[in-house]
Amino acid sequence: MGDRISLLPYLVVAALLFCYAGVSVSPIFSDQNRIRVTSTGFYIHNDGDLYNSSISPRYTIEAIYQFGDSISDTGNLIRENPSSNYAKLPYGQTFFHKPTGRCSDGLLMIDYFTRFFKLPFLDPYLNKEGNFSHGVNFAVAGATALNGSTLAKKHNLSGPTNSSLLVQLDWFKTHLNSICSDASDRKKKLAKALIVMGEIGGNDYNWAFFQRKPITEIYDMVPKVIQMIKNVVKEVINLGATRIVVPGNFPIGCMTIYLDMFKTNDIKMYDELQCLRSLNDFAKFHNDKLQEAITDIQRDHPNVSIMYADYFEALKEILQNATSLGFDEDKVRTACCGSRGIVCGDPYKHVNWDRIHLTQHAYQVMAKSLIKPINDLGMPGNSSGSKSSIPQLFLYNLYAIIFCWFILSI
Ligand SMILES: *[C@@H]1O[C@H](CO)[C@@H](O)[C@H](O)[C@H]1NC(C)=O
Ligand SMILES: *[C@@H]1O[C@H](CO)[C@@H](O)[C@H](O)[C@H]1NC(C)=O
Ligand SMILES: *[C@@H]1O[C@H](CO)[C@@H](O)[C@H](O)[C@H]1NC(C)=O
Ligand SMILES: *[C@@H]1O[C@H](CO)[C@@H](O)[C@H](O)[C@H]1NC(C)=O
Ligand SMILES: *[C@@H]1O[C@H](CO)[C@@H](O)[C@H](O)[C@H]1NC(C)=O
Ligand SMILES: *[C@@H]1O[C@H](CO)[C@@H](O)[C@H](O)[C@H]1NC(C)=O
Ligand SMILES: *[C@@H]1O[C@H](CO)[C@@H](O)[C@H](O)[C@H]1NC(C)=O
Ligand SMILES: *[C@@H]1O[C@H](CO)[C@@H](O)[C@H](O)[C@H]1NC(C)=O
């Protein structure tokens, strides 16, 4: 009897220590950490097949739907306009050894994303023989966020296509109607899909910059472009989408076409990346507004996971680490394809492919840095999606507390 009483303080201390430890290690049992332990490999090799990356998919995606422009088009524009330059070599020379309609020498970021999720490349919507069982690519090179008619009427702007974002949304709805029996079937299917909404909006501005419109006038377009992207994201959420990636704009002041077009001896016009400061500031402005819009949508739809994909930072990292990533430091701001159709010897050394689009190598490095947040999208233990780990952690802690209470009470 006396023995037991003298042991009690030690038992209490031991139990408290145990409980503290139990509560603090409980996150180890969360999904995220289990994945981290079981993942193999520690880095991605230079040839960069994302199948062979240090991370493996944390969730299963059965279909990917891509909206956007030339950054993601896998063959829509060349079906609208077969005489487009993108239907000719050297486009496609590196990977497919023939043109596919991709505006690069090889693969695009969306190709790396689909490979990461172990899906086949996305066929373009306008390919009549396309296999859409695992998703569709609605992106059209030259497409704008705003309606072609709006740009023509209000801004006197036009591009190579009128398949702007709302047209692509109509295609998406038509496609869903063809594969879904009813609304609940559609929601079930979209719950296992990933939507990539962009990059889009870049061309609304490009067409204006190419016409040398005053930049103040182009700033005025930003709220309208953001509103359009916001509306279309909301529409796909209402249709049933639960995972959505919304990319921002590139540091466009680093694009060869603009570096040539707005070349100046005034060093104050260049930023720390040796790119055009005013254009990069403009891209940042668009990106800030886009992130605010995403935050708004996320607030209204807590059950949906929306992610801003930071193309600006991803490309900036390439420019800052060019040599270590295998690019030729002297060639990161010049294009592989010259304006007279001369192609460089080794596109792998270049960041820029044709003055306005990037090389496969650049897209590959960008995709590598973006795949991690995409892979965490909506997963427990991560804040990049909205689904927080709090309920799960709470449950573990509750177990620990009940257990401790039990120990203390004996
Ligand atoms: C992954 O890369 C390593 C090193 O290059 C290679 O040995 C291995 O075969 C690759 N695995 C796959 C599945 O490609
Ligand atoms: C479409 O692609 C899927 C997945 O790759 C494949 O299983 C299916 O057989 C293909 N369908 C046709 C008609 O080729
Ligand atoms: C844009 O085009 C769509 C149809 O493609 C139309 O429904 C919509 O009213 C247009 N919006 C504006 C602002 O012109
Ligand atoms: C519209 O833009 C074209 C150049 O694409 C220009 O020649 C024309 O003067 C512009 N029209 C107006 C009304 O500004
Ligand atoms: C886009 O639509 C306008 C009319 O709204 C038309 O003038 C123009 O030719 C169209 N452009 C293309 C590429 O089809
Ligand atoms: C969010 O999900 C929870 C549980 O899955 C559900 O009870 C709730 O109704 C959903 N809320 C909305 C707004 O869909
Ligand atoms: C670039 O270098 C910085 C530090 O110099 C590093 O933090 C970053 O991870 C590197 N990025 C890439 C893509 O290698
Ligand atoms: C969530 O994902 C982001 C982006 O990949 C990462 O920076 C962050 O560390 C992750 N958070 C946790 C708790 O793992």
At 6 the pLDDT is 64
In ligand 2, which atom is closest to the CA atom of 119? 5
- Token match 């401790």: residue? 404
Q: What is the mean pLDDT of the chain?
A: 87
Q: What is the mean pLDDT of residues 248-273?
A: 97
Residue 60, pLDDT above cutoff 50: yes
Q: How far is the CA of 109 from the centre of ligand 7 (A)?
A: 19
At 32 the pLDDT is 27
Task: Express each pLDDT in 90-116 by its tens digit.
Answer: 999 999 999 999 999 999 999 999 999
Residue 1, pLDDT above cutoff 50: no
Residue 401, pLDDT above cutoff 80: no
Q: 144 is written with which tokens?
A: 């704008």
- CA-nearest residue, atom 5 of ligand 7: 321
Q: How far is the CA of 133 from the centre of ligand 2 (A)?
A: 7
Residue 71, pLDDT above cutoff 60: yes
Q: What is the mean pLDDT of residues 293-308?
A: 97
Residue 383, pLDDT above cutoff 60: no
| Least confident range of 40-49, 119-128, 271-280 | 40-49
| pLDDT confidence tier of residue 58, bands split at 50, 70 and 90 | very high
At residue 63, the 3 state secondary structure works out as: strand
At 125 the pLDDT is 98
Percentage of the chain beyond pLDDT 90 is 77
Q: In the structure, which protein residues have their CB atom closer than 6 angstroms to any atom of ligand 3?
A: 147, 149-150, 166-167
Residue 135, pLDDT above cutoff 90: yes
Task: Express each pLDDT in 347-366 by its tens digit.
Answer: 999 999 999 999 999 999 99
Burial category of 113 from C-beta neighbours within 10 Å (exposed 0-12, middle 13-18, buried 19 and up)? buried
Q: How far apart are CA 30 and CA 25, in angstroms?
A: 10
- Token match 């060019």: residue? 322
CA 26 remoteness from chain centre:
32
| Pocket residue to mutate for ligand 1, from 52, 55, 115, most atoms within 8 A of Cβ | 52
Domains annotated on the chain, with CATH: 58-388 (3.40.50.1110)
What are the residue numbers of the active site? 70, 354, 357
In ligand 3, which atom is closest to the CA atom of 170? 5
Relative to beta strand 243-247, strand 305-309 is parallel
Residue 379, pLDDT above cutoff 80: yes
Q: 181 is written with which tokens?
A: 């029996």
| pLDDT confidence tier of residue 55, bands split at 50, 70 and 90 | confident
At 39 the pLDDT is 27
Burial category of 95 from C-beta neighbours within 10 Å (exposed 0-12, middle 13-18, buried 19 and up)? middle
Task: Check if the beta carbon of residue 253 is closer than 8 Å to that of residue 275.
Answer: yes
Report which DSSP code applies to 343: B
| pLDDT confidence tier of residue 400, bands split at 50, 70 and 90 | low
Residue 27, pLDDT above cutoff 60: no
DSSP characters over 219-288: HTTHHHHHHHHHHHHHHHHHHT--EEEEE----GGGSHHHHHHT--S-GGGB-TTSSBHHHHHHHHHHHH
Q: In the structure, which protein residues have their CB atom closer than 6 angstroms to any atom of ligand 5?
A: 148-149, 152, 160-162
Secondary structure element (H or E) that encloses residue 307, with its range: strand 305-309
In ligand 8, which atom is closest to the CA atom of 373? 5
